[in-house]
Amino acid sequence: MRLSQLKVGESGTVKEFTDLEMSVKLMEMGCLPGEKVRVERIAPLGDPIAINVAGYQLSLRKREASTIILMST
Amino acid sequence: MKADIRIALVGNPNTGKSTLFNVLTGLNQKIGNFPGVTVDKKVGYCNLPDGRTAEIIDLPGTYSLYPKSRDESIVFSVLADSSNELNPDLVIVILDATNLKRNLLLYTQVADLKIPVIIALNMMDMAKKADLTIDVDDFARKLGVPVIPVSARKVEGIDKLKEAITFANKIALQQNSIDIEAIAPQLIESIKQEIGVDNPYFALQLAHQHETLAFLTPQQSDRIEELEKEHSFHSQKAQGAETIARYNFINDLLYDTVTQSVTAEDETLSNRIDKILTHKVFGFIIFFGILMFIFQSIFAWSAYPMSLIADGFVWLQSNLHHYLPAGILANLLIDGVIAGLSGVMVFIPQIAILFAFISILEDTGYMSRVTFMMDKIMRKVGLNGKSVVPLIGGFACAVPSIMSTRTIENWKDRMITIMVTPLVTCSARLPVYTLLISLVVPNKNIWWIFNMQGLALTAMYLFSLVSAVVVAWVMKYILKSRERGYFIMELPVYRMPRWNNVLHSMFDRAKTFVFEAGKVIIAVSVILWVLASYGPGNRFDQIDRKYQQTQYQKAGPDSLKRMVASEKLENSYAGVLGHVIEPAIKPLGFDWKIGIALITSFAAREVFVGTMATMYSVNGDAEKIESVQQKMRTARNEQTGQPVFTLAVAMSLMMFYAFAMQCASTVAVVYRETKNWRWPAAQFAYMTVLAYAASFVTYHLLK
């Protein structure tokens, strides 16, 4: 399951990343393995999305969100 | 001003860093540029309780010392390079108390560089509201640095912070956060020995960033590269490992020092606001409503102060002409320099108004929602969600709009926005368009309600927006960028704007414009004035003598004056130039008279109307557009006897004004914003080529 597949209001826990360069930036922003993320909203045109992570709101494009693999529940 | 101690402010974006900077330094600040980049360098001064003066530098907000943009790369080079003129004695790291976890990452990085640090724990009032309890003493003890709770907005805790600065240690006493050496033991050891650094984290940072650091010699940089290969160092993997280690440290620290009483997952106010402001329908309606309001305000609110400034300068000029002894020097001062100064000052109201709005949009957190909403469309044409504001602002004036592109973090997006903004129909084109449209488009209605002249004008406006978008799309493929197009961006919590910051921003922008772009504008204005008021040889004397003959004296003083002015302009250097370029502009349908207007209107597009008035020695006031029109309508080609301003010529001329970079102020401001003459030169070139091509095609289609 990837972060980009979540619907608004759904949450998951970060497991790993598929893009090394992107993962460095994401981890710096507090989006680390083991961290809980929740999709807060999707932009009116369907992209980007806004997620809640580490106590604040982060927006990222769907393509970027698809590099985040969530733990299977 | 000589300061006793130099302090750098470091922190994440949206932590209230600028507010703290304003509170600490008051109006005692200087805005400049960091060398080589167009990031505002804000330096201010602050008096300490013991009578010393502290120089405070506001560094760009960043989430990490590993830069993701050119702006962010400044932070590490200032902090690490001891030969940098801004290298601080002390760093104040500002942490948002409501978002400690992410904020602490940057702190641990800065602390590990072993520069003396103080933590300003900002937004303590907000933290209390969110039921966050922070054991500040324990927090400070565990980190080994002074931690001062402040609320920059409410100006609370500032005295304590100043006290802490006064008593700050000259050596770094902070605890180590993570085991740096473990990340790349041999590499760090080798760099420490060979480059001669003793701090392991500094050595590691050199390994990551050596390619972009100006203070390393090429030999040093090459050597580090070799060492990296030798020890098979992978920069991104090492960064990842470091970040995870740092967050482990931070989690432990926060577990011991911060408690949040029952996180009731109720919807925050910010979330509820977002539901409306980023709504599928209302979101866009509200956004375009705000844009329209800003656009209207730049137009409407600036009209009065602008005419006040313009009239003030006219009054000054006429008075000076009266009191100063007549001569070349007086003319140069009054008609060259002061006229140029007037051309600079007249932009201040528009700049101040646009930046008041932009500052409010940024401060409240709405600007990042604009990016969030517009990203998908704008990205397609190579622009950024934030490009919408400069583009719409461009309908009023490109000058403040180009200055406002600083809000765009991504370098490539910013450059493309700067390059296309002058294509948008600005208010200076309006007089030119109205004059030409009323000349050739019949004032008739079609389908009862649509006025043809109005439609033509609207078409020009829409056409400009389309051309800006198309050019942006083309540039997307031309411009090369090393930066990767991220959109990983914080959506900050909505806050009330800080009026103090709004005023600061209005003042700063107006000041930088006057002092930096102003020089170029005045220089161009003086050159144009010389071109239009002097001629080669003794042509002017001959004109004066010619009109002193009795046969002309019957004409009456006013019309005589006009005839002299018109003939002088024709024989001035500008007039000569007009003749010179005539072969080049003939394919566009322009004669040398229009050529002169093209040259003189480089000062500002609306000068076209004034020049036309002089060229056709219009009776009375040049402001009266109808009389200029009348003269232009009856103008005949000297050789063919055909009317000069046919539909083809007028349309071709409008196309030329739509595309050509006929604005010295824009050129000056693009230089100021890009810090490189290549950009305004490239812009001038592409716009002129487009203008020529569009005019050529239009003229030959309609001829």
Question: Chain B closest CA to A29's CA: distance in Å?
Answer: 6
Residue % of chain A over a pLDDT of 70: 99
Question: What DSSP string runs through B76-113?
Answer: HHHHH-TTSTT--SEEEEEEEGGGHHHHHHHHHHHHHT
- pTM: predicted TM-score of the whole model, two decimal places: 0.82
Q: Higher model confidence: residue B271 or residue B63? A: B63
Per the CB < 8 A criterion, the answer to whether A31 and A58 are in contact is: yes
Q: CB neighbours of B40 closer than 8 A, spacing ≥ 6?
A: B31, B32, B33, B406, B508
Residues B377-389 pLDDT 10s: 888 888 888 888 8
Residues B269-297 pLDDT 10s: 888 899 899 998 999 999 888 888 887 88
- How many Cα atoms within 13 Å fall on the side-chain side of residue B648? 16
- How many Cα atoms within 13 Å fall on the side-chain side of residue B244? 15
Residue B33 has a pLDDT of 67
Chain B residues with CB within 8 Å of chain A CB: 63-64, 66, 68, 98-99, 101-102, 105, 236-237, 239-240, 243-244, 247, 270-271, 274-275, 278-281, 283-284, 368, 371-373, 375-377, 484, 486-493
Residue B239 has a pLDDT of 93
Residue B335 has a pLDDT of 80
Per the CB < 8 A criterion, the answer to whether B425 and B658 are in contact is: yes
* Cα three-residue angle B2-B152-B493, rounded to 5 degrees: 130
Per the CB < 8 A criterion, the answer to whether B442 and B616 are in contact is: no
Q: Higher model confidence: residue B407 or residue B673? A: B673
Quote the DSSP letter at residue B156: B
Looking at residues B431-437, what average pLDDT do you find?
85
Residue % of chain B over a pLDDT of 90: 30
Angstrom distance (rounded) from CA B5 to CA B90: 8
Least confident of B505-514, B606-615, B691-700: B606-615
Identity of the residue numbered B22: N
Predicted confidence (pLDDT) at residue B265 exceeds the cutoff of 70: no
DSSP 3-state of A31: coil
Residue B690 has a pLDDT of 95
Hey, are the CB atoms on B68 and A25 less than 8 Å from each other?
yes
Hey, is the C-beta of A66 within 8 angstroms of any chain B C-beta? Answer: no
Predicted confidence (pLDDT) at residue B28 exceeds the cutoff of 80: no
Residue B299 has a pLDDT of 73
Residue % of chain A over a pLDDT of 90: 81
Looking at residues B496-507, what average pLDDT do you find?
87
Residues B534-565 pLDDT 10s: 888 777 888 888 877 777 777 677 777 777 77
Residue B267 has a pLDDT of 63
Least confident of B142-156, B264-278, B407-421, B639-653: B264-278
Hey, are the CB atoms on A59 and B244 less than 8 Å from each other?
no
**Other Cβ atoms closer than 10 A to B138:** 14
- CATH of segment(s) B5-166: 3.40.50.300
Question: Chain B partners of A41 at a C-beta cutoff of 8 Å?
Answer: 274-275, 278
Question: Chain B closest CA to A37's CA: distance in Å?
Answer: 14
Predicted confidence (pLDDT) at residue B581 exceeds the cutoff of 70: yes
Hey, is the C-beta of A65 within 8 angstroms of any chain B C-beta? Answer: no
| Residues carrying CATH 3.40.50.300, chain B | 5-166
Cis, peptide link before residue B400, omega less than 30° from 0: no
Residue B336 has a pLDDT of 80
DSSP 3-state of B151: strand
Residue B384 has a pLDDT of 83
Interface A-B, measured as beta-carbon pairs within 8 A, has a size of 107
Looking at residues B676-690, what average pLDDT do you find?
94
Residue B36 has a pLDDT of 59
Residue A54 has a pLDDT of 86
Give the pLDDT band of residue B359 (cuts 50, 70, 90): confident
B258-260 vs B90-96, strand pairing mode: unpaired
Hey, are the CB atoms on A56 and B99 less than 8 Å from each other?
yes
| Residue of chain B minimizing CA distance to A60 | B488
* Among A29-38, B74-83, B319-328, B602-611, the range of highest mean pLDDT: A29-38
Give the pLDDT band of residue B325 (cuts 50, 70, 90): confident
Looking at residues B90-94, what average pLDDT do you find?
95
CA distances (Å), B567 to each of A32, B462, B557, B644, in order? 76, 39, 15, 19
H helices of B120-258, in order, are 124-129, 136-143, 158-166, 185-191, 200-209, 218-230, 235-257
* ipTM (interface predicted TM): 0.95
Helix then strand then coil, % of chain A, to nearest 5: 20, 40, 40
Chain-wide mean pLDDT for chain B? 85
Give the pLDDT band of residue B452 (cuts 50, 70, 90): confident
Residue B1 has a pLDDT of 59
Q: Contacts for B267-274 with beta carbons within 8 Å, 24 or more apart?
A: B268/B493, B269/B494, B270/A57, B270/B365, B270/B493, B270/B494, B271/A40, B273/B494, B274/A40, B274/A41, B274/A50, B274/B369, B274/B491, B274/B494
Residues B145-172 pLDDT 10s: 999 999 988 888 999 999 999 988 888 8
The beta-carbon neighbor of A24 closest among B239, B270, B284 is: B239
Give the pLDDT band of residue B437 (cuts 50, 70, 90): confident
Residue B392 has a pLDDT of 82
| Residue of chain A minimizing CA distance to B284 | A44
Hey, are the CB atoms on B487 and A48 less than 8 Å from each other?
yes
Predicted confidence (pLDDT) at residue B27 exceeds the cutoff of 80: no
Question: Chain B closest CA to A67's CA: distance in Å?
Answer: 12
Residue B686 has a pLDDT of 95
Hey, is the C-beta of A36 within 8 angstroms of any chain B C-beta? Answer: no
Hey, are the CB atoms on B488 and A64 less than 8 Å from each other?
yes
Q: With the CA atoms of B134, B135, B136 and B142 taken in that order, what torsion angle do they form, in degrees rounded to the nearest 10?
A: -120
Hey, are the CB atoms on A59 and B490 less than 8 Å from each other?
yes
Q: CB neighbours of B328 closer than 8 A, spacing ≥ 6?
A: none
Angstrom distance (rounded) from CA B11 to CA B18: 10
Predicted confidence (pLDDT) at residue A65 exceeds the cutoff of 80: yes
All structural domains of chain A, each given as residue ranges with its CATH number in brackets, are 3-70 (2.30.30.90)
Question: Chain A closest CA to B61's CA: distance in Å?
Answer: 13
Residue B517 has a pLDDT of 74
Hey, is the C-beta of A25 within 8 angstroms of any chain B C-beta? Answer: yes
Residue B618 has a pLDDT of 57
Residue B624 has a pLDDT of 55
Question: Chain A partners of B275 at a C-beta cutoff of 8 Å?
Answer: 41
Question: Chain B partners of A56 at a C-beta cutoff of 8 Å?
Answer: 99, 102, 490-493
Residue B639 has a pLDDT of 67
Predicted confidence (pLDDT) at residue B413 exceeds the cutoff of 60: yes
Looking at residues B225-246, what average pLDDT do you find?
92
Q: Higher model confidence: residue B565 or residue B666? A: B666
The beta-carbon neighbor of B240 closest among A27, A47, A58 is: A27
Q: Higher model confidence: residue B35 or residue B181? A: B181
| Residue of chain B minimizing CA distance to A33 | B244
